Amino acid sequence: MDEALFAALSLFGLFFAFLITGVPISVGIAVSSILTALFFMPADTAYFVATQKMFAGIDSFTLLAIPFFILSGNLMNKGGIAIRLVNLSKLVSGRLPGSLAHTNVIANMLFGSISGSGIAAAAAVGGTMAPLQEKEGYDPSFSAAVNIASAPCGILIPPSGPLILFSLVSGGTSISALFIGGYGPGILMGLSIMIVAFVIAKRAGYPLAPRSSFSEGVKIALDALPSLMMVVIVIGGIVAGVFTATEGAAVAAVYSFLLSLVYRMASWEEYVEVLRSTVVMSASILFLIAASGIMSYVMAITSIPDVIAESLMQFDSPIVIFLIMNVCLLLVGTFMDLTPAVLIFTPIFLPIATELGMDPVHFGLMMIFNLGIGNMTPPVGAVLFVGCSVGGVTIEQVFKPLLPFFAVLIAALMLVTYVPAITTGLPKLLGLL
């Protein structure tokens, strides 16, 4: 117990010290893990094991899905898909007060379900919607808040890179079950934001969108259909067992490229930039995963998860334990990006959750929902920064309008946590659980 406590204080103390001093997260994870390992084994053994665990951490066919999905999302961001999804969303939400705000939410859900990235959705949809909303007299802070709050829907509605990452870290949780289970909390997140947007828009008197004729509606729907078909092809193929998640990601990338060629919205220079940004983003994520392999090993040999589990299990009520987990993850999400948080805290909290009877699919979606809220919070919320940038507002201006969205999303998180059917109902219905 004393050894595990010392290891935990050393490991996390060093890690947070590195974060405070501005060391990159991946480097902080690796160095703090190696330094802690030196307390428990000879130096040559520690360095050898660290190298071995780093390579073992990324030696996975499933991980190839992540760069393919990143490439697919980047291609869609440049390929003219966002504007078609925005037009379809306007058609769906046109008769609601503050229709452009609802258009933003629906478009983020649709774009996120295709790109699998909250950041890509915030940039592509927010960049399209901001000038339209400003022209109609919307408060830019409100518009940016709606875009920021709804962009994380993309990490829940499949295909989703974070869900693939959780599947790997959790020891092989079914990707098909995670993908299908993500529809419930993803749609709940979007509807929760639309409720708040409806109330605010009603009070502010924001206008309805002009009504489209039947022929215009058919044209808009047909324009968006090729983009939406990617979801059917990729998710349908994975669930039906036609191809694996990695093969599905490759199909998505090829489909996105062909679609962008058809739409002719990107130049060859932009395609080169897409490849460059995909390589950079993929490399940073894979290095994070490699570094986390060392941390996972150090936590295992020092029994840190067992000590944390024993501490939490002192509370008799699973309700209280799940609440504590959520509070911890919400706090972590304010200063840590989603990827390292999944890598670090899945091995700690998942065994406790499963011991209390929570399905790994349920836990994974609860965790991703929770950390998705963290994407909207300072000081490291990537979606927050992107949303403010494309919306032309500062973090200080958007923080107050975001508060009611925070409140309703935390309420939705509690529903996801304590009502398992939201996450596991559809996978069970389809025989995936």
- Tell which residue, 360, 332, 349, 336, has the closest CA to residue 288: 336
Report how many domains make up the chain.
1
Residue 140 clears pLDDT 70, i.e. is over it:
yes
Residue found under tokens 């480097």: 27
Give the max Cα distance, the chain.
75
Highest mean pLDDT among 27-36, 121-130, 272-281, 354-363: 354-363
Mean pLDDT of 406-433: 93
**pLDDT, greater one: 209 or 45:** 45
Residue found under tokens 């993850």: 329
pLDDT of residue 380: 66
Residue 196's pLDDT band (boundaries 50, 70, 90)?
very high
Mean pLDDT of 122-128: 79
Burial bucket for residue 323 (CB in 10 Å: 0-12, 13-18, 19+)? middle
Distance between the two ends of the chain, CA-based, in angstroms?
36
Tokens representing 355 are 């011991």
Residue found under tokens 């870290």: 169
pLDDT of residue 141: 92
**pLDDT, greater one: 95 or 191:** 191
Instruction: Give yes or no for a contact between 398 and 391, defined as CB atoms under 8 angstroms apart.
Output: yes
pLDDT in tens, 167-189: 988 888 988 899 999 999 999 99
Lowest mean pLDDT among 4-8, 154-158, 371-375: 4-8
Spell out the SS3 assignment of the chain: CHHHHHHHHHHHHHHHHHHHCCCCHHHHHHHHHHHHHCCCCCHHHHHHHHHHHHHHHHCCCHHHHHHHHHHHHHHHHHCCHHHHHHHHHHHHHCCCCCHHHHHHHHHHHHHHHHHCCHHHHHHHHHHHHHHHHHHCCCCHHHHHHHHHHHHHHHHCCCCCHHHHHHHHHCCCCCHHHHHHHCHHHHHHHHHHHHHHHHHHHHHHCCCCCCCCCHHHHHHHHHHHHHHHHHHHHHHHHHHCCCCCHHHHHHHHHHHHHHHHHHHCCCCHHHHHHHHHHHHHHHHHHHHHHHHHHHHHHHHHHCCHHHHHHHHHCCCCCHHHHHHHHHHHHHHHHHHCCHHHHHHHHHHHHHHHHHHCCCCHHHHHHHHHHHHHHHCCCCCCCHHHHHHHHHHCCCHHHHHHHHHHHHHHHHHHHHHHHHCCHHHHHHHHHCCCC
Separation of alpha carbons 193 and 109, rounded Å: 11
Separation of alpha carbons 172 and 370, rounded Å: 21
Residue 361 clears pLDDT 90, i.e. is over it:
yes
Residue 108 clears pLDDT 90, i.e. is over it:
no
Q: Which residues contact 158 (CB under 8 A, 6 or more apart)?
A: 113, 116, 178, 179, 180, 182, 183, 231, 235
Q: How many CB atoms lie within 10 A of CB 181?
A: 30
**pLDDT, greater one: 77 or 250:** 250
Residue 267 clears pLDDT 60, i.e. is over it:
yes
pLDDT of residue 86: 78
Mean pLDDT of 103-111: 85
Separation of alpha carbons 324 and 314, rounded Å: 12
The residue length of the chain stands at 433
Residue 396 clears pLDDT 70, i.e. is over it:
yes
Lowest mean pLDDT among 206-215, 226-235, 258-267, 288-297: 206-215
Instruction: Give yes or no for a contact between 120 and 160, defined as CB atoms under 8 angstroms apart.
Output: no
Q: Against a cut of 0.75, is the pTM above it?
A: yes
pLDDT of residue 189: 94
Residue 192 clears pLDDT 90, i.e. is over it:
yes
pLDDT of residue 134: 84
Residue 18 clears pLDDT 70, i.e. is over it:
yes
pLDDT of residue 155: 84
pLDDT of residue 431: 86
In the chain, the percentage of residues whose pLDDT exceeds 90 is 21
Residue 116's pLDDT band (boundaries 50, 70, 90)?
low
Mean pLDDT of 13-22: 86
Mean pLDDT of the residues in the chain: 85
Separation of alpha carbons 348 and 146, rounded Å: 33
Q: How many CB atoms lie within 10 A of CB 21?
A: 8
pLDDT of residue 50: 87
pLDDT of residue 1: 53
Residue type, 97: P
Residue found under tokens 């000590």: 307
**pLDDT, greater one: 327 or 65:** 327
Range of the domain at 40: 2-429
pLDDT of residue 79: 66
pLDDT of residue 216: 80
Q: Which residues contact 191 (CB under 8 A, 6 or more apart)?
A: none
Instruction: Give the side-chain half-sphere CA count within 13 A for 314.
Output: 6
pLDDT of residue 178: 93
